[in-house]
Amino acid sequence: MSLSGFNHSIHWSEFQIVDQRPAGAVKEAEIFLITNIIWQTATQQSGDCRVVGIKASVGVDQGKSWVLQGKKGVYLRHHEQGHFDIVAIGMREMYNKIMALSKTRCADINQEAHRIQQETQQLIDTTRLRYNSQTNNGGNRSVQNAWEAQIKSVKLRSDGALADLPK
């Protein structure tokens, strides 16, 4: 699998320290992530087209990620790690679905891959919103701990998907 960054552990050094929250922000920190996925297709001897190569990555956008001065605690970092891991799980899901594509025409693969990409990104976004809401941005420790345990379990399974995370 060529999915770089999947097991990355975030560090506060990847965040800018700010004296006040950006306008409209209510959290004590926010991680911004950079994702990328590209694939290659080729026509097979059978005449069908398949995905023959795929590269995906997830990483921290250090220029946009921030934490309030004096708030760099372990619990908050664990919450931000959860955001990273949710995106990583989504990228793996996207990777696996695109890698499995086989169509009569390569143009059909590209169209389907873009649909998968958009659909999975929407699922990532709604999962992250649900995560923030249910954990109160990491402030509800018991719910945060439950999410962390489930995220860890899902990451360990090669078929673990966003749908396996708390509802």
Task: Give a yes or no: residue 166 inside a domain.
Answer: no
Task: Give a yes or no: residue 14 inside a domain.
Answer: yes
Q: What is the pLDDT along the chain (167 residues), one digit of tens a residue?
A: 589 999 999 999 999 999 999 999 999 999 999 999 999 999 998 889 999 999 999 999 999 999 999 999 999 999 999 999 999 999 999 999 999 999 999 999 999 999 999 999 999 999 999 999 999 999 999 999 999 999 999 999 999 999 999 99
Task: Give a yes or no: residue 68 inside a domain.
Answer: yes
For helices 141-156 and 74-99, the axis angle rounded to 10 degrees is 30
Angle, vertex CA 98, rays to CA 45 and CA 112, nearest 5: 90
Task: Give a yes or no: residue 165 inside a domain.
Answer: no
pTM: 0.96
* C-beta of residue 94 within 8 angstroms of C-beta of residue 37: yes
Task: Give a yes or no: residue 167 inside a domain.
Answer: no
Count of structural domains, the chain: 1
Task: Give a yes or no: residue 162 inside a domain.
Answer: no
The parent domain of residue 30 ranges over 3-157
What is the per-residue pLDDT for 2?
86
What is the per-residue pLDDT for 1?
56
Task: Give a yes or no: residue 144 inside a domain.
Answer: yes
Closest Cα to residue 155, out of 104, 71, 91, 79? 91
Report the relative pairing of strands 3-4 and 49-60 from DSSP bridges: parallel
